[in-house]
Amino acid sequence: MPVDTKKKLVVIESPAKARSLKNYLGKGWDVVASYGHVRDLPLNRIGVNSETLEPAYTVLPQKRAAVAKLRKVASAYKEIYLAADPDREGEAICWHIYKLLQGKGITFKRIRFNSITRDAVRAASAAAAEIDMDLVDAQQARRVMDRLVGYKISPYLWRTVGKGLSAGRVQTVALRLIVEREQAIGSFVPKEFWPVTADFDQNGSLFQAKLFRYEGKRADGDRHSPGDKEKADNILDRVREAQWNITSVDKKEKSRKPVPPFITSSLQVAASARLSMPPSVTMRIAQDLYEGFEIDGETTGLITYMRTDSVRIEPPAIEECRAFITKKWGTEKLSPKPRRYRASGGAQDAHEAIRPTDVERTPELMARILDPRHLKLYSMIWERFVATQMADAVIAETVVLVSGGDAVFKAAGQKIVNPGFSIVEPAQLKVTGEIPSLSEGDVDLKKVSAEQKFTKPLPRYSEAALVSEMKKKAIGRPSTYVSIIATLKKRSYVELKEKKLIPTEVGTVTTDLLIRLFPHLFDVGFTAEMEELLDLVASGKKTYREAVTQLYTPLAASLEEAMRRLPEIKASMIKETSEKCPVCGKPLLEKMSKFGKFLACSGFPGCRYTRPLGEDTEAASSDVKCSECGKSMLLKKGRYGRYLSCSDSVCSNTQPVPVGVKCPVEKCTGDLVERKSRKNKLFYSCSRYPDCDFAMWNKPVDRECPRCGFPLLEERKKGVFCPSCRKKID
């Protein structure tokens, strides 16, 4: 292919971005997509030299065609610009592409932009620089650390707990947080307390107050309130006998400043609380907003890069925001000085906070372009950003103390004097209710009562709450939060119930084992140290080799000790039971697999009887005959739902439960039976599977459709419907 010395080639990750960049850069530029990572460590071996700790990369099998196309296209250009995302991962992608495409006479440059807009892309192309090898080394160090932990420790889990399990440098520490929270909930002992509340009246003004002090000591909240009914009743009697008057009315105004703009973790937490969006959905929608939508015939990014832990805002964006506020609400709603925020310790400052690329694109204007979910998330980002440059909110707070005898009650009220920034983002400003205008002097006691309450343990983590905790403890980075949680769910280490993460039996056993054998490696503090070490590599203060060695040294020592204790650990995972095998009469053993605990015959391999632990051994008779021996089948319930088991202990045949409806497929003689999907969801399919693949999610009804004649109907929440013609049947 002839070399074009006049044109320049840009390599970017996604085709959607490629189309946008082509429009922005215009003539003289061609743009091609790499479709993300093109090289990585090999899939079927560790890929890290145990002596030098150097990685051995290979082209990903699914990317070989893309790499071949890239090489062919790149051979026609003298100048190639690499434009992956502006973070460590993006820098590494650029470096891998460079290593694959480098050739005689080709010049490579790196361009970075924090938003996909015409101005940002053109400015970035004009300021093209070299690949930042410190960032590349930081990404490589993370990747190699994760590979070493996963490939060295996961096989140990296979030999002790069960095949298919995995350990992860950050994943296991995140799981540890979930398991330890669950253990704390399980061991929590509720503490009884009796908060005392009184209703007072001053000249017709009724207000409620809570007991604040009694006999000179604090008497409020779960720590200081009366601890039992007898103490509470004694206080109530004394309160009823006392004379009451207001001894203090303290009024003052307080200013509240707006919170910083969104970073990755705070966006995920806010979207979960306000929009009920899981972090994975939030990031998917944010990615769409970043890559852009068509506006006036041109695809334009609507927000800045969404994987960041920096609250910094570029000065031009601050000025544009302040000009917008002045134009829309006037200078009285503007903060006196430009408000800038300081990042927390350990935050990378590679790029800005998450903000709209153009503050003039209000949510009202974007409502014509975005669907409801994209609009809701964009509105949150826009409102939070605009609020940062608005005036403080002012709240008037009144605190009243009511004294009588040995008791002091306190009432407090708030009202908004100046809403300030909250006219844009009301969710930021929450105030307690007002109390009436009161003055020092006598009051009448109208009612006093004490309510029995109990302290509660900390709640289980939601996905967003776990992200927040990981951010707080410096575990993981913005680009890894979602993938860590996804891995925990995929490995069945945790379950999501009522939007809370609950560790499974396997997750708990795995965590306890790993902490026992590798206490230093899976310590929260050590994991945070590794993140700080990677930051030092990214800033050029540490080398790749120093970082990986600092992790590998304790890993190798712990693994050597763990292998020495392997027989002991394997033996500890098996427990004898008093139950006998129903097939051969030998004792049953309690064992562990990746599916949880189960019972197995001690006579293995001579006897292969197994049963999930906790399975309902009580069985009901059924009219179904065993397909193997012809004897009656018993209806049982196991960890995966109902099933049929042969009544003959010698015959180990099991069958799914029929629902009394014939398969509707013409000429099929099968019956519909209950089955469970991979995600443990009940569905119904033909008993002759795989010869017949008919299946349905809703429960079948043995009745022909009176409209279209389909041989069965189905139950839905809103009634009975025909699965063929979709009509509701009375």
Using one digit for the tens of pLDDT, what is the confidence trace for 370-395?
Answer: 999 999 999 999 999 999 999 999 99
- Report pLDDT for 4: 57
Paired tokens of 354? 């998450």
The single-letter DSSP state of residue 360 is T
- 15 and 106 share one domain: yes
Lowest mean pLDDT among 80-84, 438-442, 527-531, 673-677: 673-677
Contacts of 437 (CB under 8 A, 6+ apart): 205
**423 and 472 inside one domain:** no
483: pLDDT confidence band, cut at 50, 70 and 90? very high
Last residue of a domain, one of 567, 589, 621: 567
Tokens (6 digits) for 297: 């015939």
Burial 664-689 (b: 16+ CB within 10 A, else e): beeeeebbbbbbeeeeeeeebbbbbe
* Residue-level pLDDT at 165: 83
Cα distance between residue 695 and residue 692, in whole Å:
9
- Tokens representing 639 are 């960890």
DSSP secondary structure string for all residues of 244-305 = EEEEEEEEEEEEEPPPPPB-HHHHHHHHHHHH---HHHHHHHHHHHHH-EEETTEEE--B--
* Residue-wise pLDDT tens digits, 108-135: 999 999 999 999 999 999 999 999 999 9
The pLDDT assigned to 2 comes to: 56
The two tokens of residue 432 are 């307690």
Do residues 314 and 351 both lie within one domain?
yes
Indicate the pairing of strand 4-12 with strand 77-82: parallel
How confident is residue 346, by pLDDT bands cut at 50, 70 and 90? low
For the beta carbon of residue 578, count every other beta carbon within 10 angstroms: 6
**Claim to verify: residue 448 and residue 467 sit in the same structural domain:** no
347 pLDDT higher than 60? no
3-class state of residue 461 by DSSP: coil
Between strands 77-82 and 196-202, the pairing is unpaired
Percent helix, strand and coil across the chain, each rounded to 5?
Answer: 35, 25, 40
Do 183 and 201 reside in the same domain of the chain?
no
More confidently predicted of 193 and 679: 193
SS3 405: coil
Contact call for residues 245 and 404 (beta carbons, < 8 A): yes
pLDDT category of residue 350 using cuts at 50, 70 and 90 = low
pLDDT at position 136 is 96
- Cβ–Cβ under 8 Å, residues 389 and 318: yes
C-alpha–C-alpha distance, residues 594 and 167, integer Å = 13
Is residue 653 in some structural domain? no
Q: Quick count: other Cβ atoms within 10 Å of Cβ 133?
A: 13
Same domain, 447 and 496: no
Residue 620 pairs in a beta bridge with 635
528 close to 470: Cβ distance less than 8 angstroms: no
| Residue 419 shares a structural domain with residue 308 | no
Would you say 485 and 280 are in contact if contact means Cβ atoms under 8 Å apart? Answer: yes
Q: For position 23, what pLDDT does the model report?
A: 84
- The mean per-residue pLDDT over the stretch 643-652 comes to 74
CA distances from 712 to 662, 696, 708 (A): 8, 11, 11
Confidence band of 473 (pLDDT split at 50, 70, 90): very high
For residue 323, the domain's CATH number is 1.10.290.10
Assign residue 95 the CATH number of its domain. Answer: 3.40.50.140
**128's tokens:** 């093209």
Return the amino acid letter for 357.
T
DSSP alpha helices (H): ranges in 473-523? 481-490, 505-517
Average pLDDT of span 19-43: 88
- Among 413, 369, 388, 416, residue whose Cα is nearest residue 312: 388
Please check whether residue 219 lies inside any domain of the structure.
Answer: yes
CB 212, CB 220: distance < 8 Å: yes
Q: Which residues are catalytic?
A: 305
- Across 33-37, average pLDDT: 87
Question: Does residue 279 contact residue 481 with C-beta atoms inside 8 Å?
Answer: yes
* DSSP code at position 458: P
* 328, 351, 386 - which closes a domain: 386
pLDDT at 634 (0 to 100): 81
CA distance 704 to 729: 10
Rg (the chain; Cα; Å): 33
Q: Are residues 365 and 462 in the same domain?
A: no
**Residue range 282-301, pLDDT digits in tens:** 999 999 999 999 988 888 99
| Contact residues for 303 (Cβ-Cβ < 8 A; gap 6+) | 115, 286, 289, 290, 354, 355, 356, 357, 378, 381
| Among candidate residues 84, 115, 83, the one with its CA nearest the CA of residue 300 | 115
Residue type, 282: T
**Of 293, 297, 271, which is closest to residue 283 (Cα–Cα)?**
271
Same domain assignment for residues 468 and 560: yes
End-to-end Cα distance, the chain: 70
Q: What is the pLDDT of residue 365?
A: 95
The mean pLDDT value for 266-295 works out to: 94
Under the banding of pLDDT at 50, 70 and 90, the label for residue 666 is confident
Assess whether pLDDT exceeds 70 at residue 616: no
CB atoms within 10 A of CB 593: 16
Q: How far apart are CA 547 and CA 537, in angstroms?
A: 7
Average pLDDT estimate for 60-87: 91
If phi over 0 gives left and psi between -120 and 50 gives alpha, with beta otherwise, what is residue 467? alpha
Q: Mean pLDDT throughout 532-546? A: 93
Residue 201: domain span: 192-256+393-454
How high is the mean pLDDT of the chain?
90
616 in Cβ contact with 605 (< 8 Å): no
- pLDDT-above-90 percentage for the chain: 64
Domain assignment present for residue 595? The answer is no
- Say how far apart CA 667 and CA 343 lie, in whole Å: 69
Instruction: Decide: helix, strand or coil at residue 427.
Output: helix
Token representation of residue 472: 């707080």
Is the residue at 597 inside a domain?
no
Please say if the pLDDT value at position 617 is more than 70.
Answer: no
Residue 350 lies in a domain: yes
Q: Is the pLDDT of residue 532 over 60?
A: yes
SS3 46: coil
> 51 and 100: one domain?
yes
- CA–CA separation, 192 and 451 (whole Å): 10
Among the residue ranges 220-229, 381-390, 412-421, 681-690, the one predicted with the least confidence is 681-690
> Which residue in the block uniquely carries the two structure tokens 């096989």?
155
Cis peptide upstream of residue 700 (ω within 30 degrees of 0): no
3-state SS, residue 167: coil
pLDDT recorded at residue 721: 93
Provide the token pair at 660.
């009394």
Identify whether 649 is part of a domain: no
Which CATH number do you get for residue 487? 1.10.460.10
CA angle at residue 709 from 704 to 713, to 5 degrees?
40
Give the pLDDT band (50/70/90) at residue 690: confident
Residue 276 sits in the same domain as residue 352: yes
The pairing of strands 298-300 and 293-295 is antiparallel
Domain boundary among 516, 533, 567: 567
524: its two tokens? 């929260």
This prediction's pTM? 0.79
- pLDDT tops 60 at residue 618: no
Mean pLDDT confidence for 568-589? 87
* 53-to-66, 140, 154, 273, 484 alpha-carbon distances in Å: 29, 11, 19, 43, 24
Judge whether 623 lies within some domain.
no
Task: Name the residue among 354, 260, 353 with its Cα closest to residue 310.
Answer: 353
**What percent of the chain stands above pLDDT 70?**
96
Burial class for 411, CB neighbours closer than 10 Å (0-12, 13-18, 19+)? buried
> For residue 725, is it within any domain?
yes
Q: Total domain count for the chain?
A: 5
Scanning the structure block, which residue is given the tokens 């008057």? Answer: 245
* Confidence at 611, pLDDT banded by 50, 70, 90: confident
Does residue 29 sit in the same domain as residue 78? yes
Taking alpha carbons only, the member of 258, 384, 262, 387 closest to residue 312 is 262
Residue 638 has pLDDT above 70, yes or no: no
